[in-house]
Structure 1
Amino acid sequence: MEMEKYLQKIVQISLSSTPEDMLKTSLEICIEIAEGSSGSILGEEGPYLQFLFSEVPALIGVRVPFDSIAGSAMTKNLVIYTHAPSDKRHFDGIDKQLKKTTNYLLSIPIPSIHSASSSDGKAKNAGTLQILFDRDVFPDLGVEKGPREFSLGDFKRSGLNSERINNIFIILPLIAFGIEVMRLRQTSYQVIHELKNKMISAGSWIGCLKEDIASKSPELAEDEAIKEDFTISENAIREGAEMAKSYLQLTKLYTPNFKMADINAVLKETASSAKALSSELGIADFAVETALDAGIGRKELDEEKLKMAFFNLCKNALEVLRERSVDNPRIKISSSLKEDGCMEIRIGDNGPGMPPEIADNLFIPFKTKKEGGTGLGLTITKKIIDLHAGSISCHTGSGGTEFRMTL
């Protein structure tokens, strides 16, 4: 029953948070059920293994060679139990940082979710899980004389893996999933970043082409069909670059920077930014009304990302107010402290509201009715609120639209 509770916790986090949070939680649970002193999850990073998560923060990002204990476990598909200080494969850079806690080390290969084996018949692994122990949990093996290595099958049949160690194997597929999602996100980020640069470059070259045509054939440059072709091409490239830029913003959200902050200060800055944008958009008689709870206090927040989220909502509201030529256009921003201790933030407008088919799909990526829009603005906003373990909802009608957020 305890294991079922652990698995439910990991799955819940995987559905509502980031792959990093899922891996961190998985590692914490593995250490707890194994009764270890600390541990790490390492993933393959080119010709090295890299610490993805560790009980020792200084290790995160450190690369280790494949001839290390972790590398041997992964490449040879072996469970390795060893007295780490006397094992020559123990990477010196790690040993110095963990000399107080690295006594007995259990390394378990993490099977890849992509395929069970490679062309040479050897199992393919995504990385290595390492659990450290202050004491010798398998004293009968006598690892002070040398490490003991087992295939996964032999280890499970040996009788050495008690129920607490055996439960780790249940979690391994979830850890593998988290590692693969991290890799996919990193790869997609690099691809989209390059695509964005290519689009920006293409836009510049179209500008050069227009200038060349105008200088060599002014009559051709004024041809309406050619001018329309250029306009369509430039718009497509600009929209593609904006979509790539928005996607890159979305992927960066997974590394929040939390610190104690005043939410009212963030909202005041949002109000100022909204006023500035209204002037830029040429919206006459616009005003921002604020009702901020002075007793709301401070909380650990990522100020910069919340500014982005709140400004996205104001920007959308301003565009609607301008497009629909609303009389006495207004945005209202409020904060309050709920009975359960959560902060409630409301950002609303006095526009015409939105139809159900739009309201029902607000947070779905790439779904937009806005000309030139990417469909990622509100997706980014929701993700920022999610990272604060909060919620966001939309309430719309003929009197306007209001977004309500809890943090």
Structure 2
Amino acid sequence: MTESVVIIGIVLIAVALVTIVVYVAARLVTATRQQQAMRRRAEASERLSQQIIDSITSGLLVVGEDRVVRTLNPAGRRMLGLAGRPEGHSMSEVLGTATPLVAVVEESLRSSRAVIRRTLQTGLPGGGTAHLGVTVSPIRDGLSQRGAICLFSDLSDVVELEEQLRFKDSLARLGELTAGIAHEFRNGLATIHGYSRLLDLQKLPPDYKPFVQGIRDETEALRQVVTNFLNFAKPDEMTLSPVALAGIADRAADEVRSEAVARGGDVTVAGEFGTVQGDEVLLRQAFSNLVRNALEACRDAAIAPRIDIDGSVDRVQGMQQMTVSDNGPGVDASVTARMFRPFFTTKAKGTGLGLALVQKIVVTHNGRVTVANGEAGGARITVTLPLHQG
């Protein structure tokens, strides 16, 4: 009897232990499944967050309180001209050329305050500048600051459009203001020049001849300057029609090819050229000025000219790019911003209206023109025009 009770007790204990083990095992399985589900949800959430960061068109920069970059999304890297993954590197190392952006993030980190809608101009690693609209906010964990998050957008196109509108307005005001004054000035020069012509050089004392000839030469030079300025300042009366830019490029190249070849160089045309809605005469004049400007730059530097006209079409954006590049001395960075100003020139005998006229023509065609130095040296002037949508 006693043995039976013992056996029954052992069996009950074993059953209880098995029940406990089964229960614990079931709980472990449930907990493991819950952990796996939580891990999957966390991974899915992380993937979604990364997809959102990678997909937004604005730049997103996250910097820790140690000034190390935690995140810089593809749009941000593209705007700043950065290659590779900058995560894990210091902010100053990654954004070395973009010092204004570094400064505004540093301002937020130091003050623990948000910087709202700041507009700044910053340099790019490959050269050039970008206009950015920036908002920076601190990242806080309770009362302590963990870093800063910076959202930024590329405002270069907006700034460029504003500059074009100001330029058009300035041209209109300039034309109204100067037309009458320049006309009277030209009449006065014509009178002085005419009176100087009445003086017979053969009958003048030898000492006076150089002075009279000087009056004639200078009044003629001033008359030409006034005429060029009037042509620049007056509003263009455009005759719009579809214009094939391949023909514009070929004609501009043909105008200077013989001189370039005679000096041991050449002019080439390559790439894709579309059609724009514009004034063919004005567009011819603009690209003729660009090609001749390139030829003169090589001539002044005593270099056998190598001038290339390249075209590319962006059908998604509906834009045409035409680049005129040369192998001349290039453009000094200190004068790049003034290249298209009226009367600014680096040439001994230049009028300073050639490139200004190019910009005027391009802007009136709702385009833009930029200047930079090529990778192999020489100047590189790029004209961007909207394609004809007909």
Under a length normalisation based on structure 1, what TM-score does the superposition of the two structures give? 0.48
User: Which of 354, 358, 376 does residue 381 from structure 1 map onto?
Assistant: 358
Match of 2:192 in 1: 202
Can you list the C-alpha shifts for 1:276-309, whole angstroms capped at 9, x where unaligned? 6x37xx952242111141xx43221111111111
SS in 2 for 1:351: coil
Match of 2:22 in 1: none
User: Which of 258, 271, 291 does residue 314 from structure 1 map onto?
Assistant: 291
SS in 2 for 1:288: strand
Structure-2 change in CA distance of 1:266 and 1:357 (3 Å): same
Match of 1:335 in 2: 311
Match of 1:191 in 2: 181
User: Which of 251, 276, 280 does residue 299 from structure 1 map onto?
Assistant: 276
Amino acid at match of 2:303: V
- Alignment of structure 1 residues 5-404 onto 2, 5 Å: 16-17=164-165, 185-186=175-176, 188-209=178-199, 212-217=200-205, 219-220=206-207, 227=210, 229-230=211-212, 232-275=214-257, 278=259, 284-293=263-272, 296-327=273-304, 329-338=305-314, 339-396=316-373, 399-404=377-382
- Distance, in Å, in 1 between the alignment partners of 2:300 and 2:190 is 28
Counterpart contact for 2:274–2:320, Cα < 8 Å = no
Match of 2:153 in 1: none
Structure-2 change in CA distance of 1:248 and 1:341 (3 Å): same
- Distance, in Å, in 2 between the alignment partners of 1:288 and 1:271 is 6
SS in 2 for 1:360: helix
Structure-2 change in CA distance of 1:272 and 1:236 (3 Å): same
Q: Structure 1 residue 393: deviation in Å?
A: 0.8
Q: Structure 1 residue 314: deviation in Å?
A: 1.6
Can you list the C-alpha shifts for 1:90-128, whole angstroms capped at 9, x where unaligned? xxxxxxxxxxxxxxxxxxxxxxxxxxxxxxxxxxxxxxx
Structure-2 change in CA distance of 1:284 and 1:267 (3 Å): same
Counterpart contact for 1:256–1:387, Cα < 8 Å = no
Structure-2 change in CA distance of 1:406 and 1:249 (3 Å): same
Can you list the C-alpha shifts for 1:220-265, whole angstroms capped at 9, x where unaligned? 35xxxx52x4565445323322321222222334432221111111
Structure-2 change in CA distance of 1:205 and 1:290 (3 Å): farther
Structure-2 change in CA distance of 1:333 and 1:355 (3 Å): same
Counterpart contact for 2:313–2:321, Cα < 8 Å = yes
Structure-2 change in CA distance of 1:332 and 1:201 (3 Å): farther
Larger RCO of the pair (alpha carbons < 8 Å, separation 6+): 1
Q: Which runs of 5+ in 1 are unaligned?
A: 1-11, 23-177
The RMSD of aligned alpha carbons is: 3.3
Counterpart contact for 1:258–1:302, Cα < 8 Å = yes
Which one has a bigger Cα radius of gyration? 2
- Distance, in Å, in 2 between the alignment partners of 1:355 and 1:13 is 25
Amino acid at match of 2:227: K
- Distance, in Å, in 2 between the alignment partners of 1:387 and 1:376 is 16
Amino acid at match of 1:403: I
- Distance, in Å, in 2 between the alignment partners of 1:201 and 1:381 is 32
Match of 1:406 in 2: 384
Can you list the C-alpha shifts for 1:185-237, whole angstroms capped at 9, x where unaligned? 3452233234334434534543443xx132343x335xxxx52x456544532
Q: Structure 1 residue 326: deviation in Å?
A: 0.3
- Distance, in Å, in 1 between the alignment partners of 2:268 and 2:348 is 29
Number of residue pairs matched by the alignment: 225
Amino acid at match of 1:220: D
Counterpart contact for 1:283–1:322, Cα < 8 Å = no
SS in 2 for 1:195: helix
Identical positions, percent: 25
Can you list the C-alpha shifts for 1:64-97, whole angstroms capped at 9, x where unaligned? xxxxxxxxxxxxxxxxxxxxxxxxxxxxxxxxxx
Q: Structure 1 residue 388: deviation in Å?
A: 1.3
Match of 1:48 in 2: none
Q: Which runs of 5+ in 2 are unaligned?
A: 1-159, 386-390
- Distance, in Å, in 2 between the alignment partners of 1:230 and 1:357 is 40
- Distance, in Å, in 1 between the alignment partners of 2:269 and 2:207 is 55
